[in-house]
Structure 1
Amino acid sequence: MNGLRRPAWWSVLLTLAGTLLFLRLGMWQLHRADEKEEILRRYATAATAPVRDFAAVAEAPPKDAFARVQVRGEYLVDRIYLLDNPKHDQRGGVEVYAPFRIHGGEHLVLIDLGFLPGNGTDQTPQLPPLPGDERTLQGLYLPPPGVGYQMGGNALAKQTRWPKTTIYLDVKQVAADLGSPLYPLVLALDADPASIYVREHTLDFSAMPPARHRAYAFQWFTFAVAAVVIFLILHRRRKPSRPKSTDSP
């Protein structure tokens, strides 16, 4: 410390607080990256996981896994919901959802039938009719798409014609619209080559993937190093300047 001037207490405190804050933010970003990578790994393995009975999973959905389930019942064929303009391979279109009444149960479960490409609902292909008989469905039991800020309130309540269109899928609003209780998660059906729907379900981390979290972590760690370096530069001892020699005439 011989090369440093004695710093003021407040400069030491400020530098220490800033450095610790930057380090903490960097560690948090790394933690979020690890969390998301673990979620993606669990999601990837769920496609080949053994099929479980829906009733057992619905009572206690696993918190650390994505359950692949099987359920039997019938569609409410005249009640279709279109999630407008989700992104799939950079194409606009709609994700199609239909309520499904479980055999022997009171609750409905929302079925994610898949994606149909198009430039908004006006150019979406004609929806094929849903089967009206009782049948068995199979897929992943997943959280619904995220709900953002909805300007204008509940769009479903204002629509009188089916299918109904929304830019956010709010399960509570759908349940109120149907007048029937809904399970909190949705069933994303397995891929079917015979279906017109695209069923390549992925978790949407496009806005903040794990790599971006790590980039932000590097940025915060850089700030921490910069804070220390600035402190050292500002408090280094300066060599006394030599007086200029004056020559007498």
Structure 2
Amino acid sequence: MPASHRRQFRPEWIPTLALIAVLALTVSAGRWQLQRAADKVVLQGVIDAAASAVPVPVQSLGASAALEALAWRPIEAVGRFDAERVVLLDNRTREGVAGYEVLTPFVLSGSADVLLVNRGWIAAPARRDRLPQIATPDGEVRLIGLATVPSTRFIELRAQTDDTSRWQNWTIDRARARWGLDLLAFAMLQTGETRPVGVVSASAAQGAQAAVVPADGLMRIWPRPDAGIDKHRGYALQWFSFASIALVVWIALAMRRPAEPAAAEGADLIAAADAPADAEPIAPNTAQRDRADVARAS
């Protein structure tokens, strides 16, 4: 390719200023997301360490326990279920099967405090107008689970006005208002069997297995707590991708091809056509002059 036909790098001011602004925004956003991911790595380590800790008795925590320190920490509670107040969280699925999560208030022994317990998941009946049958144990029992705070970030398409135990979302504040109970600020995700007080494990004493409250058919497999590390890393990748695209577009706009010779000749012809009438006429060719001489001689 002739040197005169090669593209030349000639950036203009407006695209360059736009590129600087876009790069400042996207790179800053990407770095911020990476910092958030680093913070979540630390948080995930704290959650994983807390999940492997020894269960803490809820009665020793009280209502003033710091929620941040309790997140996903194993806890232990002794008390009685309030079987008259049961809430079913609707539209909860496990392995593609629709069902409910069962929430029941748990009155702590030796205290006026009440702990909201998510007892587990149960499959929904085939008919929508029917609710699953859930057995609630009587008497004083011991529970082990993970401390958590029910999410308050949700969207409800319609307000629930009917008096039913089936709800889309359930929060501590909603439970306090509806039940009129002095609920703690955190809840429990029950992870083990419900056992009568005095039975620590199935191997604690001979015949202990028979003392375990009969299986209630509730599935207590909870997803691993996720701090959202991959989410922030994905956002960072998107911002850096936007910066790369902006840079490529700016380079493409800055690479210009020089004017072609044909285009220059065309410009000369246009200029000649626009010349004034008194300009010097173009001389005729030789054949035209010969024909003019013959005509004058005759």
| TM-score above 0.5, yes or no | yes
Distance 1:215-1:106 versus aligned 2 partners, 3 A rule: same
**1:51-86 deviation digits (Å, cap 9, x = unpaired):** 112132753335265211112221111110000111
Counterpart-to-counterpart distance in 2, 1:40 and 1:122: 41
Partner AA of 2:173 in structure 1: K
**1:179-235 deviation digits (Å, cap 9, x = unpaired):** 122222211112339441100011586xx9654554443232121011112112212
| 1:147–1:168 CA contact under 8 A, matched in 2 | no
Q: Which residue of 2 aligns with 1:56?
A: 61
Counterpart-to-counterpart distance in 2, 1:213 and 1:72: 39
When Rg is computed on C-alpha atoms for both structures, the one with the higher figure is 2
**1:73-102 deviation digits (Å, cap 9, x = unpaired):** 211111100001112222210000000112
Residue 79 of structure 2 aligns to a residue whose secondary structure is strand
Counterpart-to-counterpart distance in 2, 1:34 and 1:123: 47
Counterpart-to-counterpart distance in 1, 2:21 and 2:105: 53
Counterpart-to-counterpart distance in 2, 1:57 and 1:237: 73
Which TM-score applies when normalising by structure 2? 0.67
Counterpart-to-counterpart distance in 2, 1:171 and 1:25: 35
Offset at residue 121 of structure 1 (A): 5.8
Residue 20 of structure 2 aligns to a residue whose secondary structure is helix
Partner AA of 1:173 in structure 2: R
More helix, by proportion: 2
Residue 181 of structure 2 aligns to a residue whose secondary structure is coil
Q: Which residue of 2 aligns with 1:25?
A: 29
Q: Which residue of 2 aligns with 1:182?
A: 183
Gap runs ≥5 in structure 2: 1-7, 194-213, 267-284, 286-298
Q: Which residue of 1 aligns with 2:206?
A: none
Q: Which residue of 1 aligns with 2:19?
A: 15
Partner AA of 2:96 in structure 1: Q
Counterpart-to-counterpart distance in 2, 1:68 and 1:120: 36
Q: Which residue of 2 aligns with 1:228?
A: 247
CA RMSD of aligned residues (A): 3.2
* Aligned pairs for 1:52-201 within 5 A: 52-54=56-58, 55-56=60-61, 58-61=63-66, 63=68, 65-118=71-124, 122=129, 124-128=131-135, 130-153=136-159, 155=160, 158-159=162-163, 164-192=165-193, 194-201=215-222
Aligned residues: 236
Partner AA of 1:198 in structure 2: M
Residue 86 of structure 1 aligns to a residue whose secondary structure is strand
Counterpart-to-counterpart distance in 1, 2:47 and 2:133: 31
| 2:72–2:225 CA contact under 8 A, matched in 1 | no
| 1:67–1:140 CA contact under 8 A, matched in 2 | yes
| 2:144–2:192 CA contact under 8 A, matched in 1 | no
Among all aligned residue pairs of Structure 1 and Structure 2, give the percentage whose two residues are the same amino acid: 25
Gap runs ≥5 in structure 1: none
| 1:117–1:124 CA contact under 8 A, matched in 2 | no
Counterpart-to-counterpart distance in 2, 1:20 and 1:94: 48
**1:100-154 deviation digits (Å, cap 9, x = unpaired):** 11223333211010000126764553111x223122221111121454122333x
Counterpart-to-counterpart distance in 2, 1:120 and 1:232: 63
After TM superposition, the structure 1 stretch with the greater mean CA deviation from structure 2, 194-203 or 61-70, is: 61-70
Partner AA of 1:143 in structure 2: V
Distance 1:6-1:27 versus aligned 2 partners, 3 A rule: closer
1:202 matches 2:223: yes
